[in-house]
Amino acid sequence: MAAELKPVLLALAILLGGVGGAAVLTWWERRLLGFWQDRYGPNRLGPFGIGQVVADMIKLLTKDDWVPPFADRVVFIFAPTAIVVAMMMGFAVVPFAPDVVIIDVNIGLLFFLGMTSLAVYSVLLGGLASNNKYALLGGLRSAAQMVSYEVFMGLSLMGIVMMTGSFSLVDIVAAQEDLWFCFSQVLGLLVFVVAGIAESHRLPFDLPEAEHELTAGFHTEYGGMKFAMFMLGEYLGLMLISCMIVTLFFGGWMGPAYIDHWLPPIVWFGLKVFFVINFFVLLRAAIPRPRYDQLMSLGWKIMLPITLINLVLTGWVLLSMEA
Amino acid sequence: MLEIIFFYLAATIALIATALAMTRANAIHALIYLIVSLLAVAVIFFLIGAPFAAALEIVIYAGAIMVLFVFVIMMLNLGKEGDARERQWMQPRIWAGPVLLSLVLFAELLYMIANIEGSLSHPAVTAKEVGLSLFGPYVLAVEIAAMLLLAGLVGSYHLGRRYLERGE
- The single-letter code of the amino acid at A151 is V
A17-31, B109-123, B149-163: lowest mean pLDDT where? B109-123
> What's the pLDDT at A212?
66
Q: Tell me the residues of chain B between 74 and 103 that have a Cβ less than 8 Å away from chain A.
A: 74-75
Which CATH code is given to the segment(s) B2-137? 1.20.120.1200
Give the mean pLDDT of chain A.
83
Give residue A1's pLDDT: 53
Cα gap A310→A192, rounded to integer Å: 12
Is the pLDDT score of B48 beyond 60?
yes
User: A residues 64-103 near B, CB within 8 Å?
Assistant: 72, 74-75, 78
Confidence band, pLDDT 50/70/90 cuts, at residue B167 = low
Tell me phi and psi for residue B131, to 5 degrees: -60, -45
The residue ranking higher by pLDDT, B122 or A287, is A287
DSSP-derived secondary structure letter, B125: P
Q: Closest by alpha carbon to A154, among A110, A89, A199, A94?
A: A110
pLDDT given at position A25: 87
Q: Which of B28, B59, B128 sits opposite A128 (nearest CB)?
A: B28
Whether residues A117 and B55 touch (CB distance < 8 A) is answered with: no
**CA atoms lying within 13 Å on the CB side of residue B70:** 35
Q: Which candidate, B39, B24, B28, B65, places its Cα nearest to that of A127?
A: B28
Whether the CB-CB separation of A217 and A208 falls below 8 Å is answered with yes
pLDDT recorded at residue B122: 67
State whether residue A276 sits within 8 Å of chain B by CB: no
For residue A37, give Cα distances in angstroms to A31, A250, A284, A322, B2: 10, 29, 11, 51, 56
Do B59 and A107 make contact, defined as CB atoms within 8 angstroms? no
Confirm if A136 and A130 have CB atoms less than 8 A apart: yes
> Which of B26, B29, B71 has the most A C-beta neighbours within 10 Å, making it the best mutation to test the interface with A?
B71
Residues pairing with A100 in the sheet: A97
CB neighbour list of residue B136: distance below 8 Å, 6 or more residues apart: none
Measured between alpha carbons, how far is A100 from A104 in angstroms, rounded to an integer?
10
Residue A26 is predicted with a pLDDT of 85
Band of pLDDT at residue B107, cut at 50, 70 and 90 = very high
When pLDDT is cut at 50, 70 and 90, the band that residue B17 belongs to is very high
Q: Report the alpha-carbon distance of residue A206 to residue A203 in Å, rounded.
A: 5
**Residue B13, pLDDT score:** 92
- Report the share of chain A in percent with pLDDT over 90: 1
What average pLDDT score do residues A271-291 get?
Answer: 86
To the nearest whole Å, the CA of A176 is away from the closest chain B CA by: 20
Q: What are phi and psi of A91, to 5 degrees?
A: -70, -15
Write out pLDDT tens, residues A292-311.
788 888 888 888 889 999 89
Please, are residues B40 and B14 in contact by the beta-carbon 8 Å criterion? yes
Interface A:B, Cβ pairs < 8 A: 82
Whether the CB of A297 is below 8 Å from some CB of chain B: the reply is no
Instruction: Report domain extents, chain B.
Output: 2-137
Contact between A106 and B67 using a beta-carbon 8 Å cutoff: no
Sequence-ordered alpha helix ranges (H) in A103-167: 108-129, 133-164
Q: Distance between CA A237 and CA A197 in Å, rounded? A: 9
CA distance A49 to chain B (A): 40
> Quick one: pLDDT at residue A146?
82
For residues B120-130, give the mean pLDDT: 74
Domain ranges of chain A: 66-322
At B2 the pLDDT is 80
Check whether A22 has a pLDDT greater than 70: yes
- Separation between Cα atoms, residue A208 and residue A281, nearest integer Å: 18
Can you tell me the mean pLDDT for B77-91? Answer: 75
Interval B107-123 mean pLDDT: 77
Judged by a CB distance cut-off of 8 A, whether residue B156 touches chain A is no
List helix spans (H) across chain A: 2-36, 52-62, 73-90, 108-129, 133-164, 169-174, 181-184, 186-199, 211-214, 224-249, 265-286, 292-297, 304-322
